[in-house]
């Protein structure tokens, strides 16, 4: 009997249960996937713990937004996708109902993208969350190019590494941060021009040093919290800081004086702005597929777990030891 992952209450990784469940029949507009690989995301650990700012779980809840696999059933009204297609999912659906951790999932056809030729199932499960998150701030809104200095905090996260690759492909100068010195290698290999280790360096002055005193023009930050003050202090005049997460446990004081003095914009962002708008999504998918084909974008995989070890995989996700994507295979 196939298995799916669900949780029945908030808590630690051990709340994730591998449960037998017969595959559901796709409803109108839906597609069923025989899942081969699942990409894990920090927001999924937050949802399980109950500190995901964007959604509170109701129970029982499926979980997971990113997978690759083979289509094995489609609703009668679905014409553009066929049984047997190798596909991956864009995070654009109800994670609780359509969650993808497991041997099967059912998702809206609008969330399906064919896997580019030559790409393996593990890499294919590590594409959309990271590159779509980076795409909005860098391309759709920021229109970043060789004139821009881009700051990427949490640079060794999957989104961080993906954003570094994308910013370099656009010609930007890239400064990235990481907590500990152990991850500077992978961040440099992803293309960062300068890496700041926040455990041992002062963030604001290091950013200013790395940019010749000018500061950054665009920042992508999933942390927020008190560190926002240092970002505002090291931003160039007119810079925009995109906040796309809340990893810091502390509240976020608003750095009003720097923000006024330098005319800064602090912009909230989630990839839903891209995934839920058909025109933006189409532009984004084309841009990212082009980057994958030309190898300017290459998912970086940290470690692969078996689905039966999902609890260990989430424990590792929470450890912060990874650099790049954690993938679970069935």
Which residues sit at the interface with a second copy, rule CB under 8 A?
A: 53-54, 224, 228, 240, 243-246, 251-254, 256-270, 273
Choice between 31 and 235, CB closer to a second copy: 235
CB of 273 to a second copy, least distance (A): 5
CA dist., res. 130 & res. 117, Å (int): 20
CB of 14 to a second copy, least distance (A): 28
Biggest distance spanned by C-alpha atoms of the chain: 62
Return the sign of the alpha-carbon dihedral for residues 186, 189, 191, 194.
positive
Number of C-beta neighbours around residue 8 at 10 A: 13
CB of 102 to a second copy, least distance (A): 28
Tokens for 312?
């260990």
Tokens for 159?
């989104």
Q: Is 314 exposed, middle or buried (0-12, 13-18, 19+ CB in 10 A)?
A: buried
Contacts of residue 137, defined as CB under 8 A and 6 or more positions apart, other chains included, come to 163, 218, 220, 240, 242, 244, 267, 269
Classify each residue of 116-130 as buried b or exposed e, where b means 16 or more C-beta atoms within 10 Å of its C-beta. Answer: beebebbbbbbbbbb
* Phi-psi group of 35: left, alpha or beta (phi > 0 → left; psi -120 to 50 → alpha; rest → beta): beta
| Cross-strand pairs, 73 | 32
Tokens for 228?
């926002």
CA dist., res. 161 & res. 263, Å (int): 28
CA dist., res. 178 & res. 186, Å (int): 11
- What is the bridge-based pairing of β-strands 104-108 and 30-39? antiparallel
CA dist., res. 41 & res. 67, Å (int): 11
Is the link from the previous residue into 60 a cis peptide, with omega within 30 of 0?
A: yes
């Amino acid at each position: 009997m196939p298995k799916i992952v669900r949780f029945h209450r908030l808590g630690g990784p051990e709340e994730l249960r591998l449960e037998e469940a017969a595959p559901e029949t796709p409803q109108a507009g839906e597609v069923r996937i025989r899942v081969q690989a699942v990409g894990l995301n920090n927001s999924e650990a937050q949802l399980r713990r109950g500190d995901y700012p964007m959604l509170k779980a109701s129970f029982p809840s499926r979980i997971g937004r990113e997978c690759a696999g083979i289509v094995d059933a489609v609703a009668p009204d679905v014409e553009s996708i066929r049984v047997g297609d190798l596909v991956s999912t864009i995070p654009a659906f109800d994670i609780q109902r359509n969650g993808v951790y497991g041997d099967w999932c059912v998702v809206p056809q609008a969330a399906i993208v064919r896997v580019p030729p030559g790409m393996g199932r593990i890499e294919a499960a590590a594409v959309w969350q990271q590159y779509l998150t980076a795409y909005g701030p860098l391309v759709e809104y920021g229109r970043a190019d060789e004139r821009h200095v881009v700051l990427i905090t949490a640079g060794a996260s999957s989104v961080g590494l993906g954003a570094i690759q994308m910013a370099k492909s656009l010609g930007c100068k890239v400064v990235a941060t990481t907590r500990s010195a152990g991850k500077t290698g992978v961040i440099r290999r992803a293309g960062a021009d300068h890496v700041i280790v926040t455990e041992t360096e002062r963030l604001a002055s290091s950013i200013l040093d790395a940019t010749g005193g000018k500061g950054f023009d665009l920042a992508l930050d999933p942390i927020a919290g008190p560190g926002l003050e240092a970002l505002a202090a090291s931003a160039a005049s007119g810079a925009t800081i995109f906040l796309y997460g809340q990893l810091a446990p502390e509240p976020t004081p608003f750095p009003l004086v720097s923000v006024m003095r330098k005319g800064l914009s602090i912009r909230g962002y989630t990839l839903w702005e891209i995934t839920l708008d058909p025109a933006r999504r189409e532009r984004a998918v084309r841009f990212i597929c082009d980057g994958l084909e030309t190898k300017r974008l290459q998912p970086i995989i940290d470690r692969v777990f078996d689905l039966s070890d999902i609890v260990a995989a989430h424990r590792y996700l929470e450890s912060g030891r990874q650099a790049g994507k954690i993938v679970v295979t069935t």
